[in-house]
Structures are given as C-alpha cells and as structure tokens.
Structure 1
Amino acid sequence: MSHSMQQPQYGPPQFGQQAPPPVPMRNGLGTAALVLGIIGTVSGLIPFFFWLAGILGLIALILGLSGRGRVKRGEAANKGVTTTGAILGLVALILSVVGAVLTFKAVDEAVDEINKAATGTTASKEPAAGKSDGAAKGDGAAKGDAKGKGAGLAAGDTAVYDDDLKITVSAPKAYTPSEFAAGHTAGNKAYEVTVVVENGGKKKFDTTLLTTDARAGKDGVNAEQIFDEKVGSGFSGTILPGKKSTVRFAFDAPTAAKELTVEVSPGLTYDASQWELKL
C-alpha cells in the first residue's frame, strides 16, 4: 500500500491542549417535581382544594418521571429528589380524588338539608289519650287528616313528625309568677303549659333550635314568655332515641283572653305545630 493511502496517526494531546467539556447536569425537573409535589400534597389535605392538588400532582408526576429519564441517561444526578417528587405527585393525585369524593358527598348532603328546610317535615295529629277518633275529628282533624297542616291541635294532642319525633302540649293552668319574674305585666294573667318532646326515631334529636311561642285572645296578641326560677329555662341538649324531655313554660295574657295559641317549632327542617288551648 502506498504511503499516500495510509491513515494519519494522532498522538496523545499535547501539553496545554484542552479536553472536551463534560455534559452539564440538568437537575431542574427533579427540583420542580419535588416542590410541586409538596404543594400538591398539602393542598390535598385542605377541604375544597382537591382541584389544585390534582393539577399540581399531575404536573409533579410528569416532571418526576421525565427527571428519572434524565438520570438514567446520565444527564442529571438528583435521583432521590426526582423520585421523591414523582411519589409526592402520585400522592397528591390520590388525595385529590379522595377530596373530590368527600366534597361532592358533602355538597349533596347540604343540598338535601336545604331541600328539607324548604319543604319542612310535616306532622300528623295523635289525639290525646282517652279521646275517640270521632271526638278528634270534631276538634278539627283526626290523625292523618291534620298531616301537613301543623294546626288543629287541642290540649293533650300530640304532633307526630315523619321521623317519629313527638311533641305534646298540656292544657293551660293558672300560674303565679315570682316577685322578680321577667315577662309578666301587672294586671295580666299568667298561664303555665307543659311541653313534652319524645324522640321515637333512630337518631338523637338536638333541641338547640326548638322554640316555643304563644299568642293570646281573638286578636292573637303576643303572649310574652315568663322567666323566673321555676319556668323559662327551655329545652337544652339532645334527646336520645326512645327518651323524653319535659319543660314547663309560662305565658302572660290579657285578662279578657279566652284562648291561648301555643306554637312549637322543633327546628329549621320541621314545620311548626300549633295548639289551640282554652283558658
């Protein structure tokens, strides 16, 4: 072979000649995945922030997987950071799904409660013990006839609600307020009634929102509730299934009043029931 056909020979680099620069490590994807994964996971723990956790978690997972690819190719050295970011991104996605389910469930329950509050739970009439069905019809309505009206109840009758909550108001009797009673006007008469609440349902009943009001006479003037050391404390706490709670109330009425209308409202999701009491 001729001398002109031979390949040129290169010797080792001479002193002072620079070697090719190394490939720079690009660690940005792993760091970004870690930061977004942390923020997404924290967002997933906050109610109603499931949407933010889902978005950040998805981005963190994608960046983390891309960062691991760079690590395998030798373009990045932050394997631990990248892996942690990808894992946190996955955790944030899981939390976002759980948060979405819980949020939608809470919203659905809230809508149901609003619908109940709008329609109101109605009551049927249960005549007082010893009163015949015919007599009950003469009073205004028999059991079932009064359903949805929340009125037409006489002394001793029981309002029975759809959830088996039962409320009974006794006949009024004269009451003598104490010297320092509030709500009593000199010259008026005071009358006491007993209100019994029985929980016949399967869930405990909270009496916090239960209110009792009264009107007196044909004109329906407001009958002030009387407060002293014996009456006026009202209901408190909860009533367990199968249990009762009894409270005495006293109301101030003009001397000429011949009837007292007592209205009991068990709460926001119930219709109020009224008792027409003879004085």
Structure 2
Amino acid sequence: MSQYTQQPQFPQAPVPAAPARNGLGTAALILGIIGALSGLIPLFFWLAGILGLIGLILGLSAKGRVKRGEATNKGVAVAGIVLGLVSLVLSVVGAVLTFKAVDEAVDEINKVTSGSSATRKPAGSDKPLEKAKDGEDATGKALAAGDSAAYDDDLTITVSGPAAWTPGEYAIGHTKGHKAYKVTVVIENAGKEKFEAALVTAEARAGKEGVKAEAIYDGKVGEPFTGTILPGKKVTAVWAFDAPADAENLTVEVSPGFEYNASVWDLKL
C-alpha cells in the first residue's frame, strides 16, 4: 500500500470576466447629442461649447478604454467624439453670429439716437455741402424748389417746384374751391446699403397760417414709394396736395424713415 494517498482532482470554476466599462462612451454620446442640439438654438452657443468639450474628453477616454479591452462600445465612443467636435464648431459659429447681431443692433440704436444730419445741396451747384439740421440750410431756412437734402448715408431727396394740376373726377383729398398742385420727388441712393422706400412719408402745409394741405390721390398721382432702392439707383414719384385758392406757398416735409430727420421745402405757388 502506497505511503501517500492521492487526493482526487476537481475542476476549478472559471474566473468571471470583468464587466465592460462602457459608461464613459455612453455619457460622451449623450452630451454630444445635447450639445449639438444646443448649438442649433440661438443664444445657446455657450452651452453647446461646454457640453461639446466635456463630451469630446469623455469620448477620447472611452476610446482609450476600448483599446485596453476595458470597454466594448467603440462605435458609441467614436460617435460621442464626433458629436463633441460638431458641438464645438456650432458653438463657435453661434458666438460669431450672436456678436455680429449685437454689433448691428448697437449700430442701429446709435443711428436712431443720434439721427442723420441732413445737408443742403443747391441744384446745379458744385460747392461743398453745408451741414444742416432737419432739412434746413445753414441759415435755418427751408430748402427751395429743386434743392436736395443729402443724408450721412448718401441718400438724397430732391423736390421739384409745384405745378398747377387738375384732379380727376374721382380724386381723393381735393376740396371744391381749392387748388391742386403736384410736385415731383426723386430719391437717389448713392450709398452702399439698400434703402427701404416704403418708409418714406410726406405731408404739406399751405399759406401763411400753415393750414394742412391734404394729399390727393388720383390714379398714379399720389402713390407712395414702395420696394427697395438698391445702391446707385433712384426712384421718382409724383405727389399732389390740396391748397386754399389764396395760398402763396406750399411747405412740403419729407421723412425718409424712422432713423432720419425730416427735410422741409418751402415752395412758391
């Protein structure tokens, strides 16, 4: 009998494998999706930048785990990296657009608060323009027929002398016993930006007492300016006004828009 008794051999249970550490990849994907969506929303560029940066870092860390065999979600990690980069790009684009919009808004506010100073340019004169206020010339007098009011943005408005005119049977704004006069208004855009002509308004007063002269609409006469005036272009309109029979002058005031001072013409009848 053998001195040593052989012990029976039992198979050992396999050591369980460590669970995959896929959390970083999943987090990177979620943050990348939220960041990309935030980048599409105005004023949320800052959130897209933060989430994109965190998602990118987590995605790179998750990809490292995949290489070491600690994680199995390589596709999720790569998607998180890509979306993180997309979020960062959208964040930069959003910041640029936001700051540009703010600058433009500030410029518009400055224009409104400061106003545009009108200058007088007598018809047929090559003399330097004289700075003026509200369409008046350097002496404080209104512009005369044929004079032009030029603005800081190179917008020029010219009003012709009044011409006697007989309204049609169905004209609107004419009073029986009064006289009607029509003037030609020319707007020239010599600036670099387009001009919205639909904002142009006009009113008139007649005689020494400054009685309101009603605008007359008769077919094409009296139609307002419409549309956009491109740089280097001009438009012309004919306006008509109703004045008492004994009026000797017609004061026409034209305003190019909310951001401009009105210009005034004193026209002899």
Considering the TM-score relative to the shorter chain, is it more than 0.5? yes
Q: Report what 1:186 is aligned to.
A: 176
Once the two structures are TM-superposed, the CA of residue 95 in structure 1 deviates from its matched residue by 1.7
Q: In the alignment, is residue 22 of structure 1 matched against residue 7 of structure 2?
A: no
What amino acid maps onto 2:243 in structure 1?
Answer: A
How many Å apart are 1:157 and its aligned residue? 0.9
Please say if residues 134 and 262 of structure 2, whose CA atoms lie closer than 8 Å, have aligned partners that are also in contact. no
Go from structure 1 to structure 2 and tell me whether the alpha carbon gap of 1:212 and 1:28 turns closer, same or farther (over 3 Å shift).
Answer: same
Residue in 2 that maps onto 1:71: 66
Query: Under a length normalisation based on structure 2, what TM-score does the superposition of the two structures give?
Result: 0.85
Match of 2:42 in 1: 47
Match of 1:148 among 119, 130, 133: 133
Shift of 1:189: 2.5
Is the partner of 1:177 in helix, strand or coil?
coil
Against the structure 1 CA distance between its residues 10 and 72, is the aligned structure 2 distance closer, same or farther, given a 3 Å change threshold?
A: farther
The equivalent residue for 1:137 is: none
Structure 1: 5+ residue stretches without partners: 1-8, 134-141
Q: Which residue of 1 aligns with 2:239?
A: 249
2:145–2:265 contact (8 Å) kept in structure 1: yes
| Residues in 2 aligned to 1:52 and 1:220: alpha-carbon distance in whole angstroms | 60
Can you give the 5+ residue segments of structure 2 that lack an aligned partner in the other structure?
A: 1-5, 137-141
- 215, 229, 247: which is aligned to 2:205? 215
Q: What SS does the corresponding residue of 2:199 show, helix, strand or coil?
A: coil
String of CA shifts for 1:131-158, please: whole Å, max 9, x gaps.
x98xxxxxxxx951x5234222011111
C-alpha spacing 1:73/1:143, structure 2 compared with 1 (3 Å): closer
Shift of 1:107: 0.7
Aligned counterpart, 1:119: 114
Which residue in 1 is equivalent to 2:3? none
Post-superposition shift, 1:256? Answer: 3.9
Aligned residues: 259
Question: Normalized against structure 1, the TM-score is what?
Answer: 0.82
Shift of 1:210: 1.6
State how far apart, in whole Å, the 2-side matches of 1:129 and 1:10 are. 125
Q: Tell me the distance in 1 between the aligned counterparts of 2:14 and 2:101.
A: 66
The alpha carbon displacement at 1:12 in A equals 6.1
